[in-house]
Each structure stands twice: as structure tokens, then as C-alpha cells.
Structure 1
Amino acid sequence: MPQVDPHDTADIALHGITVRYGKAREPVTAVENVSLTAAPGEFVVLVGPSGCGKTTLLRIAAGFVTAAEGTATVRGGAPVPGRATGVVFQQPRLFPWRTAGGNIGFALARHGVPRERRAERTEELLARVGLAGMAGRRTWELSGGQQQRVAIARALAGEPRVLLMDEPFAALDALTRERLQEEVRTLAVTSGTTVLFVTHSAEEAVLLGSRVLVMAANPGRIVAELEVGLERGEETDVAALRGTPAFSRLRGELAAVMREAALTPSG
């Protein structure tokens, strides 16, 4: 039987990616010869020290950054901002002059949803992230966690098959972060969405990811991969999962690999 190239079947496929910044005569190589894939429905997490290129790779998948070398495809085509992906940043980046519903309605309009359908669809999306009935709330009336929920709902407005998340919970308090982690993982399980997620946290990576890629810096490159393999479903109790021996073992293993990667000499 002929071998199937995983890049041909992946929702996200980065191959031989190198990114350089700065002047042409003295460029800084931010990422060098990185390849990764995310299969349909897979939740892939990127971890590593600051400056190792995690966000750069996510921005390439989003179509915000062009690589100096290598190829990038999302669902079989070149990445185009907003076309096949939803993106959630560390900060919500909502329009402050719009309501929660107005922020989502703007995204729905961009994706061609008819005006008469937008109010109903907005309520559906807000309910999906636990904010039912809050379409009329101004952004400044919302807590940080609620704002990030609106940002997630906005990213889902175009019904993307691929969701890119750049440390979306880093600025939140511990309780809100845990709640949103559970909601995002449930969304991924129930919708079959492919997720590429950036974090610094070993615990968050093991909790959410089906596979974790560990990066080192100077230049950014993938130095290790961990298959998580924890059973999860719609009814999974995330709090209970955190207390299992398997979770503790994987978290410790990943933390050790991340410490080693942070000390890895430049390639």
C-alpha cells in the first residue's frame, strides 16, 4: 500500500518553515526549518520558552505572516486571514464601541450571514460560550473572562473548521481560566474543530491537547513531541481529570522536557 503524506490530509500543514526578521544583511532567524501537521479534529498544542516562535507559527497558519522558506497550507489551500480559520488572541481585542452582540454581528456580516439571521445566530454563539442573553451588554460592562468568551464566540462566527488560539487564557484569573479551558475543550470535542493552541503552561497543554509539540529558541524549532492519550469526551469531568495519576505523570514529563528545551543550546 502506498504511503500517504500527512501534509496531504492535514487541516494544518507547515513544511520546512523558516522565518527571518530584520535587515536583509543582518537578518534574525526567528524560526528555522519547522514542520508540523494537525489532522482534522486534532487539538495540537505548542509550548516553549518566550521567543521560540510559537506565535510566529500560529500567525503563519492564520495568514498574517509569510515564511521566508517553506510552505503552509490550511485545509488544502494557502492561508488567508479569516477564510478558513478563527483566531483568538491573548487579549480579546473587541471593538469597544460595539456591544457583545455587535462584535459578533460584525464577524457574521463579514462571513456573509444575511442580516435577518444575525440576531438569532448571535444568540446561538453567545449561548455556546455561556453568555446567553448578554448580546446587549457593552464590552466595558463585561469581566475579562466574559470578554474573552465573546472573542471566542466571534472567532466561531464563520463556523471555522480550524481554530487558532494564542495564549487566550494567560491574562485571566485561575478560576475563569479553568472554566474556559473546559469550555474550549468541550467545543473542540463536540464540533470536531481542529485546534492549534499556544501556551507556556505544561498543565494547560496536557489538559487540552491530544498532542504537544515542544519548541526551543534561537532559532525557534521543535525539539520534542508528546502524545497525550487521555480519554476525553463531552461528559469528561475536567477537575477529576486533573487529579488522575495519568494526568500528573504526563504533566511532570512535559514540564521536564520543557525545562530541558529552555536550556537547549542554539541550533
Structure 2
Amino acid sequence: MAGVSVRYGSPKQPVTALEGVDLRIRAGEFAVLVGPSGCGKTSLLRVVAGFERPASGRARVRGALPRPGAGAGVVFQQPRLFPWRTVGGNLAFALARAGVPRADRPARIAGLLERVGLAETAGRRTWELSGGQQQRVALARALAAEPELLLMDEPFAALDALTRERLQEEVRALAGRLGTTVLFVTHSAEEAVLLGSRVLVMAAGPGRVVAELPVGLAREPDTDVSALRASPEFARLRGRLAGIMRG
């Protein structure tokens, strides 16, 4: 995107969520947006997803105008599953929207659930699952169309610490295996450093990118993430990012 601005409210009293944002995400990159509440992280994500049109500037995804569902999977802070459908039914809906033939859907559903560690749950109701399991289903649904781009808006914020750590590790490994481009929003310096190959720091008033931090930590799918969390380099990067965020 180049020079992107987003405004809300009436023409007489507009509220500027983003102002003049320039941003380029490379294919296969795990980019993380951090910053205080109200700095426009979600607005930026919505522009990339095609849910918002910028008031000015230009946004492109692989050279085309962003459109909802056009090659991007989205995972929100809340799972937003269909409670009247089973786990498999939620995934079947996403596969149907992606044009997958009906005969191919059962195998694809089994593969998606295996990928997120929820094998044998296709017949269960979503309300029978824990919060962490529901968020895994939401991730599987976002991956159903095999998107080249995955957009994640604070997907683990409402989870307990242990579940959050487990899903962080799973998403990190999954992105590495699939080579998916990821744009991830968080408030947490620790989460940003653990997940991101590059961290973009935003400031409010109005929202803009003010700094970036490359993260050179090991990203192979079989990386020992527990050892990574305990490493001096992880602590150094987390401290450096926290300092940037404090300004």
C-alpha cells in the first residue's frame, strides 16, 4: 500500500484512523503489526482484506484491488463460527465458497482438522469445544481455500496463557511449512517477536507506521520454541521492541 489514509465519521467531523501509510509485505513473510489501542492496526488489516476502502492512497494485493475472500483468509479475535453447524459443517461452508467439489470436501475437512490438531472432531458442535479449540477451527476455516495471504487480528487475545502459547507455536510452525504470507495484529511485544520475521510498530494520532524491527530468529517448522523463548537473543529483541513501543 502507498499513502493509505482511512477516515470514519461525518465529513464535518472526520476521525482519521490511518494517515499516509506506506507498507509492503513480501511473499512468504510473517509480518506483525504492534501498537497501542486506537492506532489503526485493525483498520489497516481491514483495508488489506478488502473490508475497507481507503479515503486516499492505493492498496493492492498481488497487484489487484483487495476484495473480501479474494485469496486471503481472515482470523478474527473471536472465532465467529456458525453455532448451528458442526465443526465439519463450518469447514464445508468455507470449502463450498472456495469452489471445492462436494465429493472432495470430506477428505479436505479431515486434512484441515489434522493440520490444526483437531482430528476426529468434524462431527462435534462448535459449542462443545473449548475457546482454544474453536480458534483452531477458525484457523482451519481460514486455510480452507489455501490462501496465499493470512490475516490475523489478535486471534489469541481472549485465550488463557497456556492455550495462547500453544497456538502461537502451532501458527508459527504452520506458516513455515506452508510458506503462507501472514499479517498478524497484536499488542504484545513477546508475541510479536516470537511470531514475526518483521515487526512493524504503529503510533496513533493519526495511525501510521513509525518503526520496524527485523527478527532473525530461527523459523524452521521443527524449531524448539521453548528454547527459543528462553534464549538471550529473544530477550534482547523483546526488550528492544518494548522500548520502541514505549517511544
* TM-score under structure 2 length normalisation: 0.99
The corresponding residue for 1:232 is 219
The corresponding residue for 1:143 is 130
The corresponding residue for 2:180 is 193
- Alpha-carbon deviation of 1:218? 1.1
8 Å Cα contact 1:85/1:163 also seen in 2? yes
Alignment partners' CA distance in 1, 2:22 and 2:91? 34
Alignment partners' CA distance in 2, 1:214 and 1:229? 17
The corresponding residue for 1:132 is 119
Q: Secondary structure at the match of 1:168?
A: coil
- Alpha-carbon deviation of 1:26? 1.7
Alignment partners' CA distance in 2, 1:130 and 1:33? 41
Gaps of 5+ in 1: 1-13, 261-267
- Alpha-carbon deviation of 1:27? 0.9
The corresponding residue for 2:202 is 215
Alignment partners' CA distance in 1, 2:62 and 2:243? 34
> Which aligned runs of 4 or more in structure 1 are off by greater than 6 angstroms?
none
Q: Deviations over 1:72-102 (max 9, x none)?
A: 1112211110111000000000000001110
User: What is the CA RMSD across the aligned residues, in angstroms?
Assistant: 0.6
8 Å Cα contact 1:75/1:84 also seen in 2? no
The corresponding residue for 1:73 is 60
Q: Does 1:179 align with 2:166?
A: yes
Alignment partners' CA distance in 2, 1:226 and 1:15? 20
Q: Secondary structure at the match of 1:203?
A: helix
Map 1:1-267 → 2, pairs under 5 A: 14-260=1-247
Alignment partners' CA distance in 2, 1:231 and 1:124? 27
- Alpha-carbon deviation of 1:118? 0.6
The one-letter code matched in structure 1 to 2:40 is G
- Alpha-carbon deviation of 1:113? 0.4
- Alpha-carbon deviation of 1:32? 0.2
Gaps of 5+ in 2: none
Q: Identity across aligned pairs (percent)?
A: 72
Q: Deviations over 1:228-248 (max 9, x none)?
A: 111220110111100000000
8 Å Cα contact 1:86/1:155 also seen in 2? yes
- Alpha-carbon deviation of 1:39? 0.5
Q: Deviations over 1:147-185 (max 9, x none)?
A: 000000000000000000000000001111111101111
Residues matched between the structures, number:
247
